[in-house]
Amino acid sequence: MEFVQRLVDLFLFSLCFLAILSFGLAITHRLLPFGVSLLELLPISLGLGTIFVAYAVLLLGLLGWLHKTVLYILLGFCYAVGFTEFVLFQRASQFAAPFDEGWRDIPVLEKVWVWLVLVLNFLAMLLCFVPPTLEMEWDSLSYHLAIPKLYWLEGRIHYIPFSHHAQFPMTAQMLYLLGLGLRGLKSAAIAKLFHWLFFLICQMTLFCWGIAVKGRSLKLGLVATVFFASLPITFFEATTAYVDLALTAYSLLCLFALSRFHSQPNEKWLIVAGIFAGASAGTKYTGLLLIGLLVPLGIWAMKRAGAPRWFHLAVATLIAFIIASPWYVKNWLWTGNPVFPFAYGILDGKNWTKEMAQTYTISNREFGGGRDFLTLLAIPFNMALNEVRFGNCARQWLGSCKQKGECKMQWKCGKFDNQDLPTLSISFLPLALMPTSMLAIAFETLPFAVSVPILAMLGWFAWWLLEAQYLRYLLPALGCLSVFIGWGATKWLRSGLLTTVITRITISAGLVYAIFVALWQATTLTPLPVAVGLVSNEEFLRIAEPTYKVSEFVNKALPRRSVIATYGMPLGFYFDRRYFWADSGHNRLIRYESIRSARDLICEWKRLGVTHVVIDWQFIPKESDLWRWISEGQRQGLLEQLWREGTKEILSVGRRLSE
């Protein structure tokens, strides 16, 4: 039965994939009628298709039309558009083939790389069928999947005041909403497969990059793809319902379009770049960097190509703002701050305070090491060698790192992620190949198509270094780095026998290591037997997910109209009841400054319609007022214990409040 459910998930995702591709192909044919190679057509079409479907789901949600039937109508519309375009399809092609090289020109070992990358992609796809857990996907359980689920339960997209994450741009999450809705919230697999799809789009875009370089090098794109796919962090991300690969895919497509404008100065490429820049900003706030780079990089491309297209660059910039704008306008209408919760000191924001804003900023900046120049130079070494050694953080830094007493949350200091896992790393390949790629610049001038992603990478890295040294936030920069590595490694692969052998051995070792780490993940974090249906989701979650047993009781024992206040447990994805985060650090829904007793607290709960409380006591200090008030409420009979296991407890609220 579990295997059948996996097949249902795969079938529905295939329907979505083909609908997205059908619509995307139709738009690409209309947008780029001058002819692109079939190889380029695929990532561009998938990118455009995902944007349309995501924004269509957003519109349906804002109209209150979130229903399974409506979603099928949307998919049917995509098929109809694609079929109509197929009937009228006449393609003009500029190139007989996208590359000057052919598959037959690629050495056997490099063909083996391609097959190993395909194995990695297939394994990542399988692991998407494992339900999300705290150890793997904290953010998915907290908001990437949890917020779309709340939208579906309400049948509409609405203001969610308890989580500032709900106000982030959510283009990718609209696809997750589609996946959750088609399965009636029974599975998160389709949602996770959408993020895996962005992993594929990243690789396809990188593979095409050589088309934009003089000589149209197949090997450049091949090495760039192998490098990106072999980073353990990218494989890990592809098995989650996060959004960083979506941001990376749209960013790479934007930069690729600018590079293609330089090699083929048709103004339509600027329009494509504008579309994907807008989608980047609509996926994550950091995607605004692409809109900021669109004009200067566009001007540079026009000057280098000798093709002034000022009007079309202006139109592309306008399109980028229009595509990104729904999320920022929504925030402005709902919170008063278009980039909520950021820029609070300037723009303010609903249900937020100056103290919360400061705490959030500090929390992000506690990851990693110092912000000085020495630490900047040492970052590649720290990331590659010292961050994670199969579950043990080395905490040995070159450069400055916050020492004991300087960092309130010591588990973050000297680390680039929440946990010590081999999957949350970049391995040794970047450190091994970056110096040689930089050395190649001494012998040959950087092509424009390689310079563009390098500039974007430097911009992203500067923000990352100063603000939030969290590894997955660096994924777009790693995507850009892949182009540079592909170019540099290609030069050494053609420089002589010794350099060719060393380069091939290095890349092969990195790829083998990536497969080893992926297999480790498939046997520990996301067990393959669960993925293929040999073990049920429920059996797995009862063992692996601490919040699942709480959710089981809530979903079976509490009335459907229940409203739950959670404390120390901002992971509500598995709840099928309405809930909100009640901790004082998340929002201002509960007026804690006016509470003096258990009765005051319960009155606040009642004002918000709370019927039950879920508490994880390990995150509630014993000396806190909340601990005292809840204990007082239980002694007075105002709160009744319904369930408890370990540190987690469920209480019923206010049965004797009127006495």
- Which of 327, 347, 365 terminates a domain? The answer is 365
Amino acid letter at 363?
S
Helix (H) or strand (E) holding 612: strand 612-616
Residues 189-211 have pLDDT tens digits of 999 999 999 999 999 999 999 98
Domain span holding position 333: 2-98+126-214+227-233+243-365
Q: Which residue has the higher pLDDT, 472 or 104?
A: 472
Query: Rounded mean pLDDT of 57-67?
Result: 97
Q: Which residue has the higher pLDDT, 228 or 305?
A: 228
- Which of 321, 337, 365 terminates a domain? The answer is 365
In the predicted structure, residue 392 carries a pLDDT above the cut 60 = no
Q: Alpha-carbon distance 242 to 116, whole Å?
A: 24
Q: Alpha-carbon distance 367 to 353, whole Å?
A: 23
Q: Are strands 578-581 and 639-645 parallel, antiparallel or unpaired?
A: unpaired
Whether 370 and 400 have beta carbons less than 8 Å apart is answered as yes
In the predicted structure, residue 26 carries a pLDDT above the cut 70 = yes
Query: Rounded mean pLDDT of 61-75?
Result: 97
- Identify whether 406 is part of a domain: no
In the 8-state DSSP scheme, what is residue 576? -
**Distances from the Cα of 597 to the Cαs of 27, 63, 592, 632, 633, in angstroms?**
61, 42, 10, 8, 9
Amino acid letter at 148?
P
pLDDT of residue 442: 77
Pick from 555, 560, 598, 591: which is nearest to 574 by CA? 555
**Distances from the Cα of 362 to the Cαs of 127, 309, 357, 607, in angstroms?**
34, 44, 9, 32
Q: Alpha-carbon distance 522 to 62, whole Å?
A: 38
Radius of gyration of the chain, Cα coordinates, nearest whole angstrom: 25
In the predicted structure, residue 607 carries a pLDDT above the cut 60 = yes
Pick from 145, 139, 128: which is nearest to 417 by CA? 139
Q: What percent of the chain has pLDDT over 90?
A: 70
Residues 210-221 have pLDDT tens digits of 988 887 888 999
- Tokens (6 digits) for 476: 């777009």
For the chain, give the number of residues: 659
Band of pLDDT at residue 421, cut at 50, 70 and 90: confident
Band of pLDDT at residue 1, cut at 50, 70 and 90: confident
Measure CA 590 to chain center.
Answer: 31
Helix (H) or strand (E) holding 394: none
Band of pLDDT at residue 323, cut at 50, 70 and 90: very high
- Tokens (6 digits) for 208: 């095409």
Q: Are strands 578-581 and 612-616 parallel, antiparallel or unpaired?
A: unpaired
In the predicted structure, residue 92 carries a pLDDT above the cut 90 = no
Whether 261 and 273 have beta carbons less than 8 Å apart is answered as yes
3-class secondary-structure state, position 581:
strand
Provide the CB-side half-sphere exposure for 119 (13 A, CA): 15
- Tokens (6 digits) for 124: 């990542």
In the predicted structure, residue 410 carries a pLDDT above the cut 70 = no
Number of domains in the chain: 2
- Identify whether 413 is part of a domain: no
- Identify whether 438 is part of a domain: no
- Identify whether 356 is part of a domain: yes
State the burial class of residue 265 (Cβ atoms within 10 Å of its Cβ: 0-12, 13-18, 19+): middle
Pick from 611, 602, 556: which is nearest to 580 by CA? 611
- Identify whether 520 is part of a domain: no
Q: Which residues of 135-146 are buried (b: 16+ CB within 10 A; e: fewer)?
A: ebbbbbbbbbbb
- Helices (H) and strands (E) counted in the chain, each on its own, are 26, 5
- Identify whether 309 is part of a domain: yes
- Identify whether 86 is part of a domain: yes
Lowest mean pLDDT among 46-50, 279-283, 580-584: 580-584
In the predicted structure, residue 659 carries a pLDDT above the cut 70 = no
Provide the CB-side half-sphere exposure for 536 (13 A, CA): 5
- Tokens (6 digits) for 84: 């109509």
Whether 614 and 565 have beta carbons less than 8 Å apart is answered as yes
Q: Alpha-carbon distance 53 to 76, whole Å?
A: 11
**Model pTM?**
0.94
For residue 286, give every residue at least 6 positions away whose Cβ sits within 8 Å of its Cβ, in sequence order, or none.
247, 460, 463, 473, 476
Return the number of other C-beta atoms located less than 10 Å from residue 541's C-beta: 21
- Identify whether 49 is part of a domain: yes
Over the chain, what is the mean pLDDT?
89
In the predicted structure, residue 411 carries a pLDDT above the cut 60 = no
Q: In which residue are the tokens 């049920």 written?
A: 536
Lowest mean pLDDT among 179-193, 426-440, 469-483, 605-619: 426-440
Q: How far apart are the first and last CA of the chain?
A: 52
In the predicted structure, residue 307 carries a pLDDT above the cut 50 = yes
Query: Residue 637: left (phi > 0), alpha (psi -120 to 50), or beta?
Result: left
In the 8-state DSSP scheme, what is residue 383? I
- Which of 365, 381, 397 terminates a domain? The answer is 365
Query: Rounded mean pLDDT of 451-468?
Result: 92
pLDDT of residue 233: 94
Band of pLDDT at residue 222, cut at 50, 70 and 90: very high
Query: Rounded mean pLDDT of 513-529?
Result: 92
